[in-house]
């Protein structure tokens, strides 16, 4: 099957997002031809077996969004005439509002993946920003209503989409994020510590990945003194590509006298991330209250990476991630923004080596069963075949 995968987003440091790469690679391995289409200003490193087609969109500050809105349908119109796909797969974005209408004219089914949403609020901003957000709201509605199938990553997103856009429930299929289990796997702690230059005799509590809200890391920092009072050879690791934020947290760490207890690491290649995870005794996934961006629920890529590496996790009580942790018994669930509860959970797990090992094994088993990209691609593939056969 030939699939056009549309992504209109800025890719930092020339890397394709983990989700895009995982889905396309898995579908390609199943015999489909997937062509990633993205703006010419977002050129990335080439990743086999991903086939990339760059859409000529001018990179003009302040006009990039509107140029994208107009350029996508024009380019796709030509592509549909010359070499049409069987399906168009869209990374949910208002920029594709007119593009999906072109696909509908050509009777090409559209699947839209929804990893997060915005309420398009227009308060306390300039007139030009209000205009952009109003247009974005209209275009996003067009994307959602024109798509044959919507693929939100959480059930809460599904429940929000149904009344907000009056979408029948049978047009929405929840498909979570996933992980490459061949990239993230168990490595002995001593070997991993040697690789990243850590002392294996210490306990390591790690947050590895991006964080949209600083409260996540602040909670970790605030919990540290409580943990250190009970278990002095504990160290805390923050590894993130958001290097500018590390400069924000360093004074907070220093102010609490925790400089020696914290290891702050700027961006690393994804294939090195597993060594930092496996050097850890516990990994943290601490989404906080983040309305309206993702409707207070997440399907965290970092959580599945932790689990694949057989490390116990502590996550905050958001429905999807917390449900996975509780069902698989791969860690503990705590309320958001509760450093005392986080500290108690860390101490509970560190005090019991057998519990840590059991949680780690449980996590890997759950990932292999439900959350590899291959499993995710199987679910998408079933939907693709149903759409094509019913068209």
- Which one has a higher pLDDT value, 244 or 37? 37
pLDDT at 144 over 50: yes
Instruction: Give the angle subtended at the CA of 236 by the CAs of 232 and 240, to the nearest 5°.
Output: 175
Domains of the chain: 2-178+373-390 (3.40.50.2000), 189-370 (3.40.50.2000)
Q: Does residue 91 come out as left (phi exceeding 0), alpha (psi in the -120 to 50 range) or beta?
A: beta
Q: What is the pLDDT of residue 8?
A: 86
> Using CA of residue 244, residue 246, residue 251, residue 252, what is the dihedral sign?
positive
Q: Please provide the DSSP assignment of 101-156 as one string.
A: HHHHHTT--EEEEES-------TTS-HHHHHHHHHHHHHHHHHHHH-SEEEESSHH
CA 262/CA 110 separation, integer angstroms: 47
Q: pLDDT tens digits for 201-218?
A: 999 999 998 776 677 889
**Cis omega before residue 199 (within 30°)?**
no
Q: Which helix (H) or strand (E) holds 39?
A: strand 33-39
Q: Token match 């959970």: residue? A: 345
Q: What distance in Å separates the CA atoms of residue 222 and residue 225, rounded to the nearest whole number?
A: 7
Stronger pLDDT, 322 or 123, i.e. the higher one: 322
How many of the other CB atoms lie within 10 Å of CB of 127?
A: 8
The answer to whether 219 and 342 have CB atoms below 8 angstroms apart is yes
Predicted local distance difference test score (pLDDT) of residue 246: 75
- Any bridge partners for residue 333, and if so which? 315
Q: Model-level pTM?
A: 0.91
């Amino acid at each position: 099957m030939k699939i056009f995968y549309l992504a209109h987003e800025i890719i930092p440091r020339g890397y394709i997002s983990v989700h895009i790469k995982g889905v396309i690679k898995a579908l390609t391995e199943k015999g489909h031809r997937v062509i990633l289409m993205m703006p010419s200003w977002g050129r990335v490193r080439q990743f086999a077996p991903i086939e990339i087609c760059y859409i000529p969109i001018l990179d003009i500050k302040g006009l990039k969004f509107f140029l994208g809105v107009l350029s996508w349908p024009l380019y796709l119109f030509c592509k549909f005439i010359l070499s049409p796909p069987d399906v168009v797969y869209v990374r949910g974005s208002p920029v594709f509002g007119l593009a999906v209408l072109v696909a509908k004219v050509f009777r090409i089914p559209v699947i839209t993946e929804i990893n997060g949403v915005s309420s398009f609020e227009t308060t306390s901003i300039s007139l030009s920003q209000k205009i952009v957000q109003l247009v974005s709201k209209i275009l996003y509605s067009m994307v959602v209503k024109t798509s044959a199938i919507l693929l939100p990553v959480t059930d809460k997103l599904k429940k929000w989409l149904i009344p907000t856009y009056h979408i029948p429930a049978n047009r929405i299929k929840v498909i979570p994020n996933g992980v490459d289990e061949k990239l993230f796997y168990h490595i002995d702690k001593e070997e991993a510590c040697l690789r990243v230059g850590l002392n294996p005799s210490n306990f390591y509590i790690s947050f590895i990945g991006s964080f949209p809200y600083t409260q996540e890391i602040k909670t970790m920092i605030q919990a540290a003194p409580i943990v250190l009072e009970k278990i002095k050879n504990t160290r805390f690791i923050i590894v993130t590509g958001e290097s500018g934020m590390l400069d924000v947290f360093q004074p907070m760490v220093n102010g609490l006298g925790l400089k020696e207890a914290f290891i702050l690491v700027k961006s690393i290649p994804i294939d090195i991330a597993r060594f930092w995870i496996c050097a850890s005794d516990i990994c943290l996934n601490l989404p906080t209250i983040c309305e309206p961006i993702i409707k207070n629920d997440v399907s965290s890529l970092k959580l599945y990476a932790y689990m694949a590496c057989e490390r116990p996790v502590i996550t905050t009580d958001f429905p999807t991630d917390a449900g996975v942790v509780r069902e698989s018994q791969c860690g503990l669930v705590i309320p958001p923004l509760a450093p005392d509860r986080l500290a108690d959970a860390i101490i509970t797990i560190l005090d019991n080596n057998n519990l840590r090992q059991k949680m780690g094994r449980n996590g890997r088993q759950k990932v292999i069963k439900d959350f590899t990209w291959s499993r995710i691609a199987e679910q998408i593939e079933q939907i693709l075949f149903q759409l094509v056969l019913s068209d």
